[in-house]
Amino acid sequence: MAGQTGSDDTGQGAGSPRIRRLVYSDLPSVLAIERRSFQTPWSLAMFVLELSKPSGICLGVSDERALAGYLVCSRYADVWHLMNVAVAPEQRRSGIATRLMERLFEEAGPGARYTLEVRASNSGAIAMYERFGFRPVGHRRRYYHDNGEDALIMWLEPAAPVEA
């Protein structure tokens, strides 16, 4: 199950941040980052639900001190839905979210399709997703309940095979 393994297969040296599967014991740290990152944070129950899904990919980046960021992605039929990505405010813009996304793509495998919703005002996140090839395809009007902001819907489709 996604929430029960803490394996690390990054092969990184001691002291450097490592990417690994989230485990239930990470949830206090996840919630602390979540509350500092979002106007309407997820509840503990929401994270427990996502960690309990065997088909999900829930990743964390940590160093010897603490969890620095996390990613939650659920699979629905043949589409991966990127649900949540957050990095501790003091560690943002250091490549952590990029590393999490790269690991997601590795674990989901080639040919995977992805979708996500992001606040229309979150230009930093939108730019990162676009760097990975996500493209905007629509809006969800008044998606965010705290302020009625729209969500931008983005998709990443696998590259079409090139015919000779």
pLDDT in tens, 126-152: 999 999 999 999 999 999 989 999 999
Does the pLDDT at position 101 exceed 90?
Answer: yes
What average pLDDT does this structure show over 3-8?
44
In this prediction the pTM is 0.87
Rounded CA-CA distance 125/85 in Å is 9
| Residues identified as active-site | 117, 129
Full set of structural domains in the chain with CATH: 18-156 (3.40.630.30)
Rounded CA-CA distance 70/58 in Å is 7
pLDDT tens figures, 39-75: 899 999 999 999 999 999 999 999 888 999 999 999 9
Confidence of residue 4 (pLDDT cuts 50, 70, 90): very low
Q: DSSP state, 164? A: -
